Structure 1
Amino acid sequence: MYQDNVKNIEAQPMIKKIITDSGANILSSTILGQKHINVPLSIIIDNNIWLDDNNINIDNFIQAIINTKQKTSTACPSIASWLQAFAGADEIYVVTITSGLSATYDSAIQAANLYKEKYPHVKIEIFDSLSAGPQMRMIAERIAQDLNKNLTFDEVIEDVKQYQQTLQMVFILKDMKNLANNGRINPTIAKLSKLVNLNIIGTVTDAGTFALISKARGMKKCYPKLLQAMIDQGYNGGKVEIDHVNNLSEAQLVASTITSTFPNADISFSLCTALCTFYAENGGILVSFEK
C-alpha cells in the first residue's frame, strides 16, 4: 500500500504557471490552455485605490481619470501578491511590465528570491518585457506555446529570450497627461500636444522607455506614419496584436492600413485594462508586432 501511494505521488503532473502583471491586459485564467494568473498593479485617483483586476469597471475608471483635479499615481504589486501567485507551482514563468518605467520587475525578483529560499526545488524565471500591453501578451503566449510543445524549463527560457528580440511596439496617444504627471515623458511636450490637438506616435526603446517619433493633427494622418514606424523597425508582414482604450474603430483602421501593404498580416485586437488605460488614456492605441 505504501509503495502504491509513492507511485501515485510521483505520477502527479508538474504544475506550471504563467504569471503576468496587469500591464499585459490579460485577465483570463488560461493562455492557450496553460494556467495564467494576473497580478494587478494599483492606480490611485482622488485617494481611491483601483486594483487592476477582473472586478474593475473600466468605464467608471476612465470617468474618474477625467473628473479628477488631483495628481494621480500607480503602485506596483507587493511582494506578497507575487508570493500568493507563485503558490503551488513547480515551474513559474513571470512576464512583467518594463523595468524602464516601473518597479514591478524588481518586486517580482525579490519575491522569487524569497520563494526559492523556502522552496528550492521550484524553478522561476522573471522576464522583463521591456515593454507593455500587447508585447507582454505576445511573450506570455510564446511561453504557453512552448509549454504546449513540452519544452523543458531551460528550453522555454532560451526560446522566449530569442523571441523577445523579434518584438517591438509602437503606439498612438491622444493625451499624455498621466504619462507626464508620473515622470514618464516631458510635461512640456504633453501640454503642447494637447494645446494644438496633436496625436503622438511613439515607440519603446531598447532600454524599455517610451520615445516619441512623430506627430500628426488628426488620426487619419497617424495611420501611415505608424505603419512607416513599424517598417522602419523591421516589420515585414508578421503577427500584430493591437490593444486599444475604447477605440476599436480606429484600431481597425490601423489594421486596415497594415493589411493594405501586408495583406497576409495576422492581426488581433484586445481592450486595455486599467493600467494601460491610465497611461494610454482614452482613445490610445498600442501596436505590438513581430519583426
Structure 2
Amino acid sequence: MSWAIIADSSCNLRGYTPTAADTTYAVAPLKINVGGTEYVDDDNLDVAELNRLVAEEQSASSSSCPSVGEWAELFRTAEKVVAVTISANLSGSYEAAVMARDMVMAEGGHQIHLVNSRAAGGKLELICLLLDRYLTKHPEASFDEVCTYIDGVEAFSTVLFSLSSYENLTKSGRMPKMAGLLANKLNIRILGTASDEGTIKIVAPTRGQKKMILKVVQAMEGDGFAGGVVCIDHVENEAMARELSTAIENRWPNAEVHIMSCGGLCSYYAEAKGLIIGYGWNTASGL
C-alpha cells in the first residue's frame, strides 16, 4: 500500500525524500500577493526578492491558500494520505483540504487524514519528520494506528516565534498594532507562540540575541521538552539559528536539531531575521 505525506508550503521541509518504503512527500503551495502580483510559494520562488518587495510595498500584502483542485490532485497520488496544514485560523488551507478530501474519498480507493497543525513552520516539519519515522519503524501499522499517532504528535507539540519585525503581522491583525509599533520603535525582539485564535501570543520581550536564546530554552523547558526532534526555521538568520541549536544541544544532549530556511509564506509572517522553532514532548519527542 502506498503512502503520501503532504503539507502546504507553510512547512519549510522542501525537497524531502521519505525513508519509509512506498512513501512520497509533496507540498501544496500557498500564494503571496504583493502589490497586485501573485507569487507562488514553491521551489522556484526567490524568497529574498519576495521579502524585499514586501518590505517596499506600502499597502498590506496578503496570502491565499492552495485550491481544492490542487489538494485533490496530490491526494490522488497514494492510497493512504496524511496531510498537514497551516493553522485553520490563519488560512483557508485546511478547509480547502477538507473539501478535496471529501471529493477524492467519494471517488473510492483512498484513505485521507487531515491534520490542522494549529501553527506554521517548525511544527509542520516536526509532524512530517516524525510521521515518516513512524512509518519507517512500523511498516505494518494500520491507517487508524498511524492517524492516532500523528494526532498525538500534533497535540503534544508547539511552535515559538522569535521576531524582530512585526509590520506584516500588525497589518494582517495577527498582532496588536500598538504592541508591534512599540516593539519596532524600541528595537525589542519578541518571543511568542501561536494562539488558538490564530494570533501571536507574546511569551516574553527582550533585547539582545543571547538573552532571546536563553528565553527560548527556558520556554521549551517550561513546556516539558526533554530531548528529541527540534525544527528551527530562519529568515536569513542562519547564525542565530545555529547559536540556538548549540544552546539546545548543550541543555539536552539527546536533542536532534534541524535547521531550515523559511519559504515565502513563513518569511512573510516571521519577517527579517525571524525564527520559528517547532518541538514536542511525550509522543512528539521523536525518541
TM-score by length of 2: 0.91
In structure 1, what is the equivalent of residue 9 of structure 2? 22
Quote the offset at 1:100 in angstroms: 2.3
Residue from 122, 127, 131 that aligns with 2:110: 122
Quote the offset at 1:200 in angstroms: 0.4
In structure 2, what is the equivalent of residue 51 of structure 1? 40
AA aligned to 1:85 is L
Q: Please say if residues 52 and 274 of structure 1, whose CA atoms lie closer than 8 Å, have aligned partners that are also in contact.
A: yes
Q: Please say if residues 126 and 230 of structure 2, whose CA atoms lie closer than 8 Å, have aligned partners that are also in contact.
A: no
Quote the offset at 1:236 in angstroms: 2.0
In structure 1, what is the equivalent of residue 150 of structure 2? 160
Q: Please say if residues 244 and 286 of structure 1, whose CA atoms lie closer than 8 Å, have aligned partners that are also in contact.
A: yes
Q: How does 1:159-178 map to 2 (within 5 A)?
A: 159-178=149-168
Residue from 18, 25, 30 that aligns with 1:36: 25
Which deviations, in whole Å up to 9, do the C-alpha atoms of 1:73-121 show, x marking residues without a partner? 011111111112122421111000111222111110011111222x223
Q: Please say if residues 246 and 271 of structure 1, whose CA atoms lie closer than 8 Å, have aligned partners that are also in contact.
A: yes
Q: Percent identity?
A: 29
Partner SS for 2:87? coil
In structure 2, what is the equivalent of residue 243 of structure 1? 233
Quote the offset at 1:213 in angstroms: 0.9
Question: Aligned residue pairs: how many?
Answer: 277
Q: Please say if residues 130 and 209 of structure 1, whose CA atoms lie closer than 8 Å, have aligned partners that are also in contact.
A: no
Higher deviation after alignment, 258-267 or 137-146: 258-267
Quote the offset at 1:207 in angstroms: 6.1
- Structure 2 residue 223 is the aligned partner of structure 1 residue 233: yes
- Structure 2 residue 57 is the aligned partner of structure 1 residue 68: yes
Residue from 92, 105, 128 that aligns with 1:140: 128
Once superposed, which parts of structure 1, at least 4 consecutive aligned residues long, lie more than 3 Å away?
Answer: 205-209
In structure 1, what is the equivalent of residue 93 of structure 2? 104
Which deviations, in whole Å up to 9, do the C-alpha atoms of 1:253-281 show, x marking residues without a partner? 11222233223322121111100000001
Q: Please say if residues 80 and 111 of structure 2, whose CA atoms lie closer than 8 Å, have aligned partners that are also in contact.
A: yes
In structure 2, what is the equivalent of residue 82 of structure 1? 71
Higher deviation after alignment, 28-37 or 262-271: 28-37
Gaps of 5+ in 1: 1-13
Q: Distance in 1 between matches of 2:180 and 2:64?
A: 22
Q: Distance in 2 between matches of 1:206 and 1:192?
A: 24
Q: Distance in 1 between matches of 2:217 and 2:135?
A: 33
* CA RMSD across the alignment: 1.6
Higher deviation after alignment, 202-211 or 179-188: 202-211
In structure 2, what is the equivalent of residue 11 of structure 1? none
